Structure 1
Amino acid sequence: MTFLMLGGLEVRSDRGQIIPIPRLKQRQLLVALLLKANTPASFEYLTDALWGDDPPASAEQNLKTYVHTLRRLLSPDAPRSAPIETQANTYLVTLGEDDLDLLAFREHVRRGRRATQGHRAEAAHHHYQRALDLWRGDPFPNARGTRVLNDAAAGLGEERLAALEEFSEIRLDLKRYAEAVPDLRAAAGANPTRERLWGQLMLALHGAGDRAAALHAYERLAKAVMERTGLEPSPTLRDLHRRIISSTEVTRPASPGPERSTGISVTAGTVPVPHQLPRDPGGFVGRAEELVQLRSLLSPWDGGRPHHVVAITGPPGAGKSALAIRAAHAVRDHFPDGQLYANLHGATPGLRPLEPLEVLGRFLRALGVAPQAVPTDVDEAAALWRSLLDGRNVLVVLDDAVDLPQVRPLLSVPEGNTVLVNSRRTFALVDDCVHVPIGRLRQVEATAMLAKLTGAERTGRDPEATERLVELCGGLPLAVAVAGARLANRPRWEVTDLVERLQDERRRLRELEAGDIAVRSSLGVSYDLLAGSADPLDREAARALRALGVLRVPDVTPHVVGALLDVPADEAERALERLADGHLVETDGVGRYRLHDLVRLFASEQALREDSETDRDIKLSRALSFYISTAHSATEIMQYPRIESAGISVDAAPLPLTSKDEAQEWLERERASLLSAASQAMAAMEERTIRLGVTLAFTLYWSLHYSGAGSDLLLISHQTLEAGRRLCDLGIEAKAHNYVGVALDMNNRSGEAVPHIQRQLELCRELSDPHGEQKALGSLAVIYSYQERYEEMLHCAEEQLRVSNAIGHRSGEHYAMAYIGLAHRRLGRLDQALAVLNDALDKIHEDDDNRPYHEAIVLEKLGEVHVDRGDPASAKTCYENALTCVRAVKASIAEPYLLLGLARASRLLGEIDEAAGHLAQSAAGVREMGIKDLDGQLAEEEAALREARGEEAAPVRRVMTP
């Protein structure tokens, strides 16, 4: 029999008859097995493919039943002869390329690539043509529904698109321009910022004699790229455009090579090349042997491939980070596809070590994955990470790893890529890992380092004192660097002056000879020099350093430090610059400062030693109040809905923000620090501090929600719920249950969300909190709509309307009416839906405090009703007005839904080109946001659009991110 999955799933007998597979679970099982053709499929994999993260307790027995039934369907007379074997705890389908279209597709692509490498263009053309002819539409739309299968379908679609691009290169080589145009036009239209496709289309159109169309294609690309990124197309595409305009010789731009089948799309159509290494440490001296060893591992002298994993290990302060960065810069030219860097905070006082998923998320975004499309499962993210690196040469630097589990998901990179990691812990359990241990600097190296920092003439005047200073520093590079910086900033001091200061601290001398304590002592010298100075600015810098030890955030601005110190921002900035001069803070761009890990520890200890608990609480409260006040101001400017109360108020002056763009930029730029500050506060012991942390988390809710940051929202909401329980504050607990539920729903875990919202509803009724009650009912209505529980959805929305009416809460009324209308529509009662939604729209327009997002929700539902009633003109108006509303509040997560509705309405009006443009924008938004519930609707609308055009050719897949 023959299995077909490059289109709707079909099974055909040897006589060509279709063998029906009637049930969805049977089709899903068959697709899962076919995806693993000729490879054993484990029980765990099949369970994920069939049920995702929520398998039933009887999953194992159910799977056996499905396998038995599938065998009987495939071979009714002899089920055991069906091509499904049982091997231990796995199942195996053994097929040849003639038996499965996916295998045939991949084999023809492989042969096409081989023929291309052998400069056999006609043979390559033949194989690519046969490969692409196997596609009948989107892969197995009748067997999707779980994350594993949806992601697999997305990945196959990307394989198809990559093959089409390679095929187009062959056609252009063979000058078959007119033949290439239709496929390229369809593919480029579905991928409006994929520059390789658009460049090929421009060449094909120009080669076919349609110069005007080629120039128009560039204009469409340039507009899409500008709208998406604010940038122009790449220099290569701009040069091609100029050549077409001037009718000079037009040659094909250099091909970036086959796109990898990653299931994702990058912002501008090509995978970016990141260059994230911190600057090369200018004062680096020594470690000559280690550098030679590292260079031989990272860039072998014989031209071979770099070693898989290289680990630099040693005690704190030994200079592991500096050595890693110096080595990485030395070999960066041997990694043309980029260099990635992350500080994992393994030994960062006051900051928790980064989770593997956080690091993967940062790297995936750097490689072009949209923030909202980063997987929320670590295994899924690691798989995408490996796919993106396949066939590339990237150097990955993992700085300050806490242990092996923290980095294990990042280590299994494809051949040709290298992970350079440094840590205090051993990595002996890592396969194919070479260790480069380091300890103290040799005396001659430490002396050379000190001479470079302070001047060789100065250290040479008193070699005995120089030698003694190196001894006091314990040979640790950080301690030597701190001592050298002090001398460099005080040119009248001799080396012996600093030696005498260190010798006055006998305990410090003992500490200076051991690990962290040594570095702490060196920092103590720097701090004492500031705190005891006659210069007021020095003393203010010392106070600023102590204050920075109170607040645990990745970096700060002068406004934040001004709040900590209760001084103007410009005064705080002067103190920070003084600390920067003394190498006690580092600058990350203009106006942003961060503490080195060990300096942070020292600052925290100084704050504990010199400031009372009350003083520390006051400083933290001032910083939190500044964050809350500015975040609240930003949300007001953005016209976000009401912010929940945590039973506390602040009166700090916010950062002056004057526009929506400015407000949104501040919220995005400070997000990591805001979340860190909220987490720190909610983990505190003092009630006021905890409530400030909860207030900050509540203030961030709509920003996280509208931007689609489901992972961040889920993490902070869980912390908020725990804080409410610690405070025994049922009001906070109720609100937090809502936020946890919404965040779970955003992460496609609606089954887990329902109990949280139901608990919120119980608590609000117990507390006689009608506002919270109506909010819970509204959230339940939304979740039930996704679960297709329309009667329950209608009941919840009607209850929300009743409660909102009773308390005069207009926004609640509008929201409830929107979902009452949606419920009536889904239940087939279009007249009732139309009446309710029109009434809701009238009420919104009468409301002085109209919130654009609520209006957009009603307009979207109203547009759907107009489509169902055969009035696409009214529907189009609704969708256009709704888009204006969501763009006003920058709720980008809503745009793909509205653009899809606009495409449908335009198609029904006969505006085919306009509909295609809206559909392409919707698909691009789906790709960028990682939205998982629109795939089927996009496929249906694309099919309808092709039918309206009278086209029969299968479409190029919209790229869906996992």
Structure 2
Amino acid sequence: MTDQAVDTSGPAGTTGTEGPDTVAPPRFFGRARELKELRADIERAGLDTMAGRRSGRARVLLIAGRPGSGRTALAEELSRRLLDTGDYPDGVLRARLGEPGGAPVPGERAARELLGRLDVAGPPGADEDELTEMVREALAVRRAVLLLDDAADAAQVDPLLPDNPDCLVVATAQGPLTGIPGVRPCTLGGLDAASAVQLLAREIGDVRVTVDPLTAETLAEECGGLPAALVMVAGLLADRPTASVADVTKQLRELPEDTELPTGARPLARAFRLVHDSLAPTPARILRLLALAPAGLADAHTASALAGCSVSAARTTLDDFVRLGLLRGDGAAEPQYEVPGCLAPMLRALLEERDRPAEIQLARARLLERTVRLLQSCRAVTDPEGSPSRRKLAGLPRSLRFPHPEAAADWLRRRRPALLASAAVAVEDGELDTLARRLVAALVRALAVHEGTEAAAPDLYGLHGLVLAVAERRELPRERAAALLNLADLDAGTGRTREALVRYRAALDAGRAAKDPYATGRAMESIGGAHAELGDYQRASDWYGRALAQRLTQGERADEARLYGRLGTVHTYAGRYGEALRNWRAAAAGYRRLGDLPAQARALSEIARVQEYAGRPQESLQTCREAVEWARRAEDVRLQAALELRLADTLDRLGDPAAAGLHRGAAERLLGEESVAYEIRSAATEN
């Protein structure tokens, strides 16, 4: 569980890479001894150095402590002070290794988080080993601090350790990281009495502490010196200016202890229960429902949907929770709030204890429905004015509309971790599959329109995997075929052609089971493309032929022409020029019937290429001239210029340099002063 103690770290640390020129950090209380030990441990000789050789890996510092002890805050403060020294000019990179509920974050996700902050693109579908290796390679040439927050064990940390002694790793965990050599944990208990009282005074004012300093010390002892507990109790006192420190101390002392918890965890649990029980029924219910916030991240819409209240009322309540130390806000104009990891398990336990399962399920459904509508709005705002989607958007409540595409893109970027987590949780839950499918579909469309499919490919890969999981669980062959095709396309795009081929075949089976002609035709064509990529032109032509036969029965002329072109391409690669010419001529005829002049010109250009390969240069010359004429009619200047250059090359080979020069001059005139060798792409590569 991530332990982000508000008292010692102030607002949540900046995501991404933090440089030494960031704003001054908030006041930090206590931990002077621990900071001194950690700084000394950086210089301490490791086992490799003692043996006479410099270590080839980064030094690892471990800060161990219970949830609420301020271990993350101490790690952040240490990192800030290290940046001030100038020894780590590449800043701080932070990755969270624990979910709010306590489960370990998958290594693949943690590695992608770090790669994103290093501005390195991780290929979609890559496994954990490949991604962690990319992290190590990127850090091998940097001098940075790597902060790994809330590690469950050494197996999470070890794959991310840079093979670079100029980097430093600061990890936080509940216990030792057995298996990583040379690591001595800096174990945290509670704050010392003076620092604890200073923290209380900061939150409630010096006067209320100085009038009864002994009671303030007693209150700190009742909180076990745990910063998270102190912040909550101080928030309660600040919210009740007429209450004395003695009153709150008495209330806290009278609360029964949960004997099932470890002794060290009981002060935090009692402080949380005291603050929760002090809330009015509606805010208390909203607080409990935040246990359902995906990835522990919430905004006003999240709380509004969960509780069924207005967005403005939800935002006011969330701001109140920040003042009480129950949440952390990011200070943005449209703030996002984080449930501290040390409180998340207690929130969930209290939710299950106080609220009925049917109410919890209804809150989940409301949250998913609200998220779907926001994502639909996020995508629709990019459509032209007057379009059906924009007219539909205008009918939504103002709180669900974005004023312009930039605002929608900013919301999507900030809420992205929560949105991805929401999709994963919805699919894993399995009880709201219809809403889950709508959520994933809306998220895919929003990411594609705002970021582009290539940039969003890693996230899209995971989302299509979620769709596949739902389709298989619900036995939906049509959706299964679509998910498999999307995943296979992403595999093919990153060079995993054999893996893509397996998925294309599975998609074909699913498409046949669903009696979906589009899915089966698309799968057969894609299988042909995969075989062509692998150099198996015989199988490629066979599968293209099957796909073509299906298109011919359905009268899909554009698809027919494209498939004739694909067949022409693989026959050309295989050296079967007669078959290639027949198919390219059929493609050209198909494009002519469709009135697609640029595609017809490209098909004629490919015919000329094949004729030249077949040793028929005069025919190639004539066909290329015909292609130039069609490109001129299509007013495709770049294509016309490219064909003029091809004519020039053919004439050179035929021994007519003067005519070749004329055609090169024509190409240069078409392109102005630019002389660009425009490569004609085969119609086989066009979709």
TM-score normalised to the size of structure 1?
Answer: 0.54
Give 1:824 deviation, angstroms. Answer: 1.7
Unmatched segments (≥5 aa) in structure 2:
1-15, 46-53, 385-394, 573-579, 610-619, 640-662
Matching of residue 549 in structure 1 with residue 291 in structure 2: yes
Match of 1:531 in 2: 280
1:734: how far off? 3.1
Q: Which residue of 2 aligns with 1:572?
A: 314
TM alignment of 1:913-932, pairs within 5 A: 914=674
- The residue aligned with 2:423 is 678
Secondary structure of the residue aligned to 1:488 is helix
| Cα pair distance change 1:771/1:408, threshold 3 Å | same
Specify the alignment match of 1:696 in structure 2: 439
Gaps in structure 1 of 5+ consecutive residues: 1-271, 533-538, 641-650, 847-854, 882-904, 923-933, 935-962
Residue equivalent to 1:393: 143
1:459 and 2:209 correspond: yes
In 2: Cα distance, 1:625 partner to 1:396 partner: 38
User: C-alpha root-mean-square deviation of aligned residues, in Å?
Assistant: 4.3
2: CA distance between counterparts of 1:879 and 1:614? 65
Structure 2 counterpart of 1:560, one-letter code: T
Q: Alpha carbons of 1:843 and 1:515: their partners in 2 closer, same or farther (altered >3 Å)? A: farther
Greater shift after overlay, 335-344 or 654-663? 654-663
| 1:737 and 2:484 aligned | yes
Distance 1:816 1:613, change over 3 A: farther
Picking from 338, 355, 358, the partner of 1:594 is 338
Identical-residue share of aligned pairs (%) = 22
2:75 maps to 324
2:94 & 2:678 partners in 1: Cα distance?
Answer: 38
Is the partner of 2:68 in helix, strand or coil?
A: coil
Aligned equivalent of 2:96, options 344, 349, 360: 344
The within-5 A match list for 1:183-222 is none
Compared with structure 1, are the counterparts of its residues 790 and 572 closer, same or farther at alpha carbon in structure 2 (3 Å cutoff)?
A: farther
Conserved? CA contact 2:79–2:92, under 8 Å? no
Summarize deviations over 1:291-337 as a string: whole Å, max 9, x none. Answer: 11122334789xx9997111111222211111111111122123342
1:15 match = none
Secondary structure in 1 aligned to 2:63?
strand
What's the offset of the Cα at 1:579? 2.1
Instruction: State the secondary structure of the residue aligned to 1:433.
Output: coil
Which digits, 9 at most, give the CA deviation of each residue in 1:860-890, with x for residues without a partner?
A: 9769849947579749976979xxxxxxxxx
The within-5 A match list for 1:291-306 is 291-298=35-42
Distance (whole Å) between structure 1 residues aligned to residue 665 and residue 112 of structure 2:
38
Q: Within 5 Å, which residues of 2 pair with 1:51-90? A: none
Match of 1:40 in 2: none
- Give the C-alpha shift of residue 473 in structure 1: 1.0
2:28 to 275, 281, 284: 284
CA shift in 2, pair 1:607/1:274, >3 Å: same
Measured after TM superposition, the shift of residue 620 of structure 1 is 1.4
The 5 A counterparts of 1:471-486 are: 471-486=221-236
Which amino acid letter does the alignment assign opposite residue 323 of structure 1? L
Aligned to 2:646: none
The 3 A distance-change label for structure 1 pair 387 and 908 is farther
Change (3 A) 1:450 1:276: same
Per the alignment, residue 169 of structure 2 pairs with 419
Note the alpha carbon deviations across 1:475-500, whole angstroms, 9 max, x for none: 22211121122222322221112112
Partners of 1:512 and 1:522 within 8 A in 2: no
> Could you tell me which residue of structure 2 aligns to residue 158 of structure 1?
none
Deviations 1:639-673 (A, max 9, x none): 89xxxxxxxxxx99794357666665555554332
Which residue number corresponds to residue 237 of structure 2?
487
Per the alignment, do residues 775 and 908 of structure 1 end up closer, same or farther by CA in structure 2, a change over 3 Å counting? farther
Equivalent position to 1:618, from 343, 350, 362: 362
Measured against aligned partners, the alpha-carbon deviations of 1:248-293 in whole angstroms (never above 9, x if no partner) come to xxxxxxxxxxxxxxxxxxxxxxxx9743999876353111110111
Check 1:795–1:531 CA distance in 2 against 1; reply closer, same or farther (3 A cut). Answer: farther
Q: Distance in 2 between matches of 1:845 and 1:635?
A: 31
Mapping for residues 147-296 of structure 1, pairs under 5 Å: 274-275=18-19, 282=26, 284-296=28-40
Pairs within 5 Å for 1:648-727 = 655-657=400-402, 667-686=412-431, 689-701=432-444, 703=447, 706-727=453-474
Displacement of 1:830 in angstroms is 5.4
1:558-569 equivalence runs, <5 A: 558-569=300-311
Moved more, 398-407 or 575-584: 575-584
Deviations 1:789-840 (Å, cap 9, x if unpaired)?
44544554555566567678x7xx6456434423323423357436536745
**Displacement of 1:372 after TM fit?**
5.4
- Report the 3-state secondary structure (helix = DSSP H, G, I; strand = E; otherwise coil) of the residue aligned with 1:760: helix
The question of 1:358 aligning with 2:109 is answered yes
CA distance in 2, matches of 1:860, 1:504: 87
What is the identity, as a one-letter code, of the residue corresponding to 2:40? Answer: S
The answer to whether the Cα contact below 8 Å between 1:512 and 1:521 also exists between their aligned partners in 2 is no
1:894 equivalent in structure 2 = none
Displacement after TM superposition at 1:422 (Å): 0.9
CA contact (8 A) 1:559 1:572 kept: yes
Q: Show CA shifts across 1:723-760 (max 9, x none).
A: 33322333433333333323332342221222322222
| Superimposed CA distance per residue, residues 765-810 of structure 1 (whole angstroms, 9 cap, x where no aligned partner) | 23323343334334334434433444544554555566567678x7
- Opposite residue 112 of structure 2, the aligned amino acid is G
Pairwise mapping of residues 812-891 of structure 1 onto structure 2 (< 5 A)? 814=558, 817-828=561-572, 829=580, 832-833=583-584, 836=587, 839=590, 865=606, 868=609, 870=624, 874=631
> What is the 5 A alignment of 1:760-799?
760-790=507-537, 792-797=539-544, 799=546
Contact 1:554/1:672 (CA < 8 Å) preserved in 2?
no
Give the Cα separation in 2 of the matches to 1:324 and 1:414.
20
C-alpha spacing 1:505/1:835, structure 2 compared with 1 (3 Å) = same
Structure 1 equivalent of residue 645 of structure 2: none
Q: Structure 2: how far apart are the matches of 1:463 and 1:798?
A: 88
Deviations 1:506-561 (A, max 9, x none): 135x67873444323322222222225xxxxxx3x433322321232353332333
Partners in 2 of 1:477 and 1:800 — Cα distance?
66
Conserved 8 A contact 1:449-1:480:
yes
Structure 1 residues 398-419: Cα deviation after superposition (integer angstroms, max 9, x where no partner): 1111211111122234122111
Q: Distance in 2 between matches of 1:859 and 1:364?
A: 44
Q: Which residue of 2 aligns with 1:406?
A: 156
Q: Deviations over 1:106-144 (max 9, x none)?
A: xxxxxxxxxxxxxxxxxxxxxxxxxxxxxxxxxxxxxxx
Instruction: Please tell me the residue identity of whatever aligns with 2:220.
Output: V
Q: Which TM-score applies when normalising by structure 2?
A: 0.74
